[in-house]
Amino acid sequence: RFDLARDRLPALRGLAEKEGRPGPGGRLFRFRADPPTTTMQRLKGLTTGSLPTFVDAGSNFASYAIREDNLLRQLADNGKRVVFMGDDTWAGLFPGAFARAHFFPSFNVKDLHTVDDGILRHLYPTVDDGDWDLLIAHFLGVDHCGHKHGPDHPEMAKKLSQMDTMIRSLVDHLANDTLLIVAGDHGMTSTGDHGGDSEEEVTAALFVYSKAPLFQSPPPEEPEVVPQVNLVPTLALLLGVPIPYSNIGEVMADLFAVEGDAVSSGLAQLSAYSINAWQVSRFLHSYSLAAQDLSAEKLQHLQDQFSSTLEDYERLLARAGPPALSEVEGLQSRFRGYLREARAVCAESWARFQPVCMVAGCALLASSCLLCCVASQVASSPSSFSYRHLLFYPLLWGLAGAALLGLAYLWGGAGVDFIVVSAWASAASQGGFFWHCWARRPWRSRSAGTRLSPGSATQRQRQRLRAWLEPALPLGLLLVRCGAMLSDSFVMAEAQVVPFLLVTLVLLLVMRLHWEGRLEDSPVSRRLLGSLSVILACTRLSGLFQQCREETPHCQSSPILASLSSVQDPQAKNFYYVLCVAVLVALAWGVRAWLRHYGNLNSPSAPVLFVRWGFPLLAICISSYWAITSGAEEALVKAHAGVQLALVAFPRSVFALVAAGFLLVLWDPVTVFVKDSQGAAMTGGPILLPSSQEELRQVIPQLYRRMQESLRSRLDEAKAGGRATVAAYGLGSVYSAALLICLALLGFLFLVLHNERLSLAFLLLFLEAFALLWMHASAVALTSPAGEWRVGGAGTVALSQCWMVGLPQALCPYPKEPKLE
């Protein structure tokens, strides 16, 4: 960030003060980035001279090779030696472009020293050997320190001091004909983030220095603003290679001034401007032939401006005798105006939004949500479900729509837009689905008919209307929630609005049950009210973890969100560490206790074994990783090689264990264990994974039928005087157990990816989600008719359903407390 370089790097200030006196000197510029200010997009702009858009921001974490013409490719093609050291992102962006390279891992933003220390080991020897034409050293410590601590933390002062010392030492190793450029690819906000278009994010620093006299004109009172794309044509001409094809930057004319009179210096600058303008004019001409998004009138105006300026420049060169200084400066101003106007035209076109396409995309997303709702209703009636009408035919509709639009593109002579064709195919496919659903409405009338009770015509109409209005409230809330995301004021106040809506909904549910007279003095009602209390408490406590948005400068983020390494008091650090580990243990122990209580830890299946042993191992790995990262940064720098290895090994172990857990749950999600009191555990073929909604409904009936068949002989013995009991461990929570295991695995994954003290917020989130599920299960149990067979979300099953096994209730106890472990 510019202010950090100006105020907290004394070396730059000292070198810049030498300018204007005989000898070496440097100059500091405001280096303005084009949004988005993510690393990959800034590197692309700094090497191609083009303007990456926000669509490119999705590639920041999966950086593909840059195929456009760029500065490094031009250097390699013209036999220049490029040496790189630092961020390994460059390895993926520019494969094969470096004569020598020292790459270091960069994705771990908590690591402030690995990349910087690796560069410092190679920097000075490489500079001294002189076997290079361009040397790039990409330090990451300041960027990572901003992400981890923010720009005002003491650790940031230490990193800036390290960079200041590096610059002072590097200057002593420079040759007289070497140009030193110190630049930032982006700035950072007050919280250390970047990626947007705020002034703090787009304003970086650029410092240019040479031991030889560099600038012929005195420095301005205020640092000049230089767009980042201007560095590309400047370096290309200074190194004697062609300017990259898609560059729209402007040369930094001050660097092309020569010693002598003002006219000679102006002519040298004018030559650089003319080469730059030729390159931009050629790019605009070829680009306008391939795409039609630039205004034809503006392109013609730019072409006329370039042609007239070039003609006057050629006449100036053809004239005998030296030209007047005013003529040279006038042509410079005209070339400069052309280059800046061309860049403005491109930026206006490439950053232009298309409201019609945006509305169409939102409508397509909304129809996709509606499709999911309709598909769930259709799947609930298997007798009317048809893969041919609801899957195959809509697919043909989509292919036909894509083919028709593609033919229209080809008929009109325009290039096929893959995004538009794909959107059209999706819309046609969804239209076909909705059409076939409307045409095959028996599923709807049948489902509605099952809910209607006999009575008068008016009563049936009321019941039919109520059946239509039942999903209106949840769907309406969903639409309001999605529509609110288009409101900037809602997005800024989302942290207050969402908890309010959640509390309002749960209170509305409880009040509705009270008005219907279902909240009686029963265990289920007390459980529902207890869940309500947990939700209200978690919602209130969540206010302690407030992260302010960049658009609210007067907001103060909660200090508890900072990492443990930023805590200076040792006692406070130890207290928070013990508290975070306690939260981690509570998460692992709570999930295991719940599964043990409902009998889901009795099965010898692989997921059960993973819960028993994998969860404690995950807790140990995460707590060990926290113990290392919570130490002071100096301690991590001086740590033993084994500790450095542990910083990488522990997170990767957590990722591997979480992935293994998910695979095991997908492979065998049923954690039910069946046993009779007079024999061994039930055996038989495995229960096949359900592939449809109807098969999913048959999981528990299959288990009961298996019990019924295998225990029939035991029942006969019981009638003859013996006694046989059946224990189905985990049957009531057969669905929720797999869901709970997956949620716990996600919790472990998020814990290792965030700061230590955020574990407290994740615990609240987990408790809140669990209480919501329990509250839903209690509400379903209170509203269900007596005798109806249901499996609650909390994993309970009524004892009155033993008739499915064929046993009297006395012989079919539901084992809440497991007998085996």
- Judged against a pLDDT cut of 50, whether residue 209 lies above it is answered with yes
Residue whose C-alpha is closest to residue 127's, from 164, 182, 178, 184: 178
Whole-structure pTM over 0.85, yes or no? no
Whole-number Å distance between alpha carbons of 126 and 115: 16
Residue with tokens 């955020």: 758
Task: Give residue 387's pLDDT.
Answer: 67
Q: Is 321 left (phi over 0), alpha (psi -120 to 50) or beta?
A: left
User: What does 110-163 look like in DSSP terms, one character per residue?
Assistant: T--SHHHHHHHHHHHHHHHH---SEEEEE--HHHHHHHHT-TTSHHHHHHHHHH
pLDDT at 447: 45
pLDDT for res 149 = 82
* pLDDT value, residue 789: 42
* Span 782-794, average pLDDT: 52
pLDDT over 80 (residue 710) = no
**How much is the average pLDDT of 17-41?**
74
According to DSSP, the β-strands at 225-227 and 100-104 are: unpaired
> Six-digit token pair at 287?
């680009």
Please tell me which of 140-144, 191-195, 409-413, 717-721 the model is most confident about, judged by mean pLDDT. Answer: 140-144
* CA-based nearest residue to 756, from 630, 591, 645: 630
pLDDT at 489: 67
Lowest mean pLDDT among 200-214, 272-286, 410-424, 427-441: 410-424
Mean pLDDT of 479-503: 74
Contact 162/148 with Cβ under 8 angstroms? no
Mean pLDDT of 85-101: 89
Cα–Cα distances (Å) from 237 to 81, 198, 243, 276, in that order, read 16, 32, 7, 9
**What is the rounded (10 degree) CA torsion for 272, 276, 279, 283?**
180
pLDDT of residue 24: 55
pLDDT of residue 600: 81
pLDDT tens-digit profile of 626-645? 888 877 555 555 556 677 78
Share of the chain above pLDDT 90, in %: 24
pLDDT band, residue 796 (cuts 50/70/90): very low
Per-residue model confidence (pLDDT) at position 683: 45
Specify the pLDDT at position 712: 62
Quote the tokens at residue 395.
């697919």
User: Residue 789 in contact with residue 798, Cβ under 8 Å?
Assistant: yes
pLDDT, residue 147, reads 81
**Residue 5 to residue 12: CA distance in whole angstroms:** 8
pLDDT band, residue 60 (cuts 50/70/90): very low
Does residue 820 carry a pLDDT above 50? Answer: no
Rounded CA-CA distance 769/76 in Å is 56
CA neighbor of 610 nearest in space, from 591, 626, 586: 591
Would you list the DSSP string of 176-220? TT-EEEEE-S----TTS--SS--HHHHEEEEEEEESS---SSPPP
The pLDDT tens digits of the residues spanning 273-295 come to 999 999 999 999 998 888 777 88
pLDDT in tens, 640-693: 667 778 888 888 999 999 999 999 988 888 777 766 555 444 444 555 555 555
Nearest to 230 by CA among 264, 259, 204, 201: 204
How is residue 82 written in tokens?
């490029």
Per-residue burial over 7-30, b if 16 or more Cβ lie within 10 Å, else e, is ebbebbbebbeebeeeebbbbbbb
H runs (alpha helix) in 711-820: 712-719, 734-753, 758-783
Please confirm whether the linkage preceding 36 is cis (ω < 30° from 0): yes
CB of 566 within 8 A of CB of 149? yes
**pLDDT at residue number 314:** 92
Non-local CB neighbours of 563 within 8 Å, separated by 6+ positions: 110, 148, 149, 629, 630, 755, 756, 757
Q: What is the mean pLDDT of residues 368-384?
A: 70
More confident of the two residues 467 and 820: 467
Q: Tell me: the pLDDT tens digits for 226-270?
A: 999 999 999 999 999 999 999 999 999 989 988 778 888 899 999
Residue pointed to by tokens 């705020």: 198
Q: What is the DSSP string of 462-495?
A: HHHHHHHHTTHHHHHHHHHHHHHTT-HHHHHTHH
124 and 96 Cβ atoms separated by less than 8 Å = no
580-583-587 Cα angle (round to 5)? 145
733/123: higher pLDDT: 123
pLDDT of residue 102: 93
Beta bridge partners of 135: 83
Contact status, residue 48 vs residue 65, Cβ threshold 8 Å: no
When mean pLDDT is compared over 88-102, 118-132, 355-369, the highest value belongs to 118-132
Q: Is-contact 548 193, C-beta < 8 A?
A: no
Whether 9 shows a pLDDT value over 50: the answer reads yes
| Residue 721 pLDDT level (bands cut at 50, 70, 90) | low
pLDDT at 787: 42
For the chain, the average pLDDT equals 79
Least confident of 4-8, 395-399, 700-704: 700-704
In the prediction, which pLDDT does 154 show? 85
Average pLDDT over residues 286-311: 88
> Are the beta carbons of 237 and 272 closer than 8 angstroms?
yes
How crowded is the C-beta side of 172, counted as CA atoms within 13 Å? Answer: 7
pLDDT of residue 228: 92
Does residue 78 carry a pLDDT above 90? yes
Q: Which two tokens stand for residue 784?
A: 């269900």
Distance (Å, whole) CA 37 – CA 334: 31
pLDDT above 70 (res 19):
no
> Could you please report the per-residue DSSP string of 373-426?
HHHHHHHT-GGG--HIIIIIHHHHHHHHHHHHHHHHHHHHTPPP-HHHHHHHHH
What sign for the dihedral angle of Cα 375, 378, 381, 385?
A: negative
Which pLDDT score is estimated for 305? Answer: 94
C-alpha to C-alpha distance for 349 and 721, rounded to whole angstroms = 89
CA gap 538, 775 in Å, rounded:
14
Predicted local distance difference test score (pLDDT) of residue 716: 59
Q: For residue 393, with 0-12 CB atoms within 10 Å meaning exposed, 13-18 middle and 19 or more buried, which class applies?
A: middle
Q: Which residue has the higher pLDDT, 598 or 819?
A: 598
What is the rounded distance in angstroms from the CA atom of residue 634 to the CA atom of residue 154? 12
CA atoms of 509 and 526, how far apart (whole Å): 15
pLDDT value of position 805: 33
